[in-house]
Structure 1
């Protein structure tokens, strides 16, 4: 049985990916700072007959990530999903906010790859999947720091794919548009009145030409495919899953 490591798997897209990977027959190591959230994912996986373990981890911390990977006997699949968002342009983005986004969204991917790849090289095989975004390909209003981090995720994907293409390690990334997650629901609840939310939900949905937001399960299905042997000829690719956003850009 292969071991799949999924960061930020306590909710939303990360949880959906972890569940799909477990359904595909992988043992899932849930790396999340929030142990309570991770426990809910573990329960879902185990209730469906899968196996999972929780490793508390702060992906922004070198020591924390090293300690997490030291606990794992092997790593066959790594999904770098953990990430945070930020709203604002280059003027409104503070140095502190930029550092925070960089430490989680960029350095987090570096940390996990840095400690996972040696384990993959031992087995002469491995798959890495990074969560990028359409923000790595098109300009999005008031997403300066977030776009910076997702552009880096895309670039790191290409770099890792190139460096390890002849060593049995594949690396790809997924570029979603808006996905209806607890984060989006929380954003609406925090920033809009109950009367305003339906209209804002409609606006967020209509941003995608297909007329709706994506679902975590749809991202999970694509992730499970790219991490499977069925995708063994795919590396260095960035997969749009965006309801037609980049199609019209």
Structure 2
């Protein structure tokens, strides 16, 4: 167990699987007390139990991050349980891919609400505790899709919005010693990208092979590789880094 986050309390949304789970494990392995937040409290509690079994400290919370009242209630509960809030990782996200002419308004709104509006709610709920403590680290998950990706007009717009949100919050919260940054992964081997493969009539393996061939490092990322960058930005090693979006995409252009 490391000690880079000793004494720190972190919230990780979408924390029960994929990049979120890898991040929760990484923070806990370095000493953080981690609130694993997911739509399913059963899944978040299961991961928290796994982290605890490995010697870390974690608890699972169920929360629909598109529900403003639920987000504020969850945040207050975490602070009540652990006495403070130092780190917020906004990772929760979904895809509802389709070409523009076929995309429904419901799919547009679902992706914007889950991938962008939820971050506004979570940041707003967290910032009052961070401002009071004169310390905070917020890391938001964007995506290479922010630069544009066929069939993802909703997702691309949301992830581009994350970068604008990040830059603006860094300006507003900087005077309170709160750093706000974003990580924009390329292709990561997760359940979400497996679903994307299925959408285009491919298998996860074949889709990863295709993505690897279009990436200079000639492979796709694993969730743990994104988590390591998130952990850096959430740590005091990045104490003078704020307002940035760091692309972690194997050199893809």
2:152 corresponds to 1:154: no
The match for 2:216 among 204, 209, 218 is 209
> Do 1:24 and 1:224's aligned partners in 2 also have CA atoms closer than 8 Å?
no
The match for 1:169 among 169, 178, 190 is 178
* Structure 1: gaps spanning 5 or more residues: none
TM-score (norm 2): 0.91
TM-score (norm 1): 0.92
From the superposition, tell whether residues 68 and 198 of structure 1 become closer, same or farther in structure 2 (CA, over 3 Å). closer
2:124 corresponds to 1:114: yes
The Cα shift of 1:172 comes to: 0.2
The Cα shift of 1:200 comes to: 3.2
From the superposition, tell whether residues 187 and 240 of structure 1 become closer, same or farther in structure 2 (CA, over 3 Å). closer
The Cα shift of 1:22 comes to: 0.5
Match of 1:63 in 2: 69
From the superposition, tell whether residues 234 and 24 of structure 1 become closer, same or farther in structure 2 (CA, over 3 Å). same
From the superposition, tell whether residues 32 and 198 of structure 1 become closer, same or farther in structure 2 (CA, over 3 Å). closer
Match of 2:4 in 1: none
Aligned length: 243
Match of 2:3 in 1: none
Match of 1:54 in 2: 60
Per the alignment, in what secondary structure is the counterpart of residue 23 of structure 2?
helix
From the superposition, tell whether residues 190 and 236 of structure 1 become closer, same or farther in structure 2 (CA, over 3 Å). closer
Map 1:201-240 → 2, pairs under 5 A: 201-240=208-247
Stretches of 4+ aligned residues off by more than 4 angstroms: 186-193
2:102 corresponds to 1:92: yes
- Please give the per-residue CA displacement for 1:106-159, whole angstroms capped at 9, x wherever unaligned: 1100000010000101101100000001122x2211110000100111100000
Question: Could you tell me how far apart the structure 2 residues matched to 1:209 and 1:141 are?
Answer: 20
2:154 corresponds to 1:145: yes
Question: Could you tell me how far apart the structure 1 residues matched to 2:247 and 2:241 are?
Answer: 14
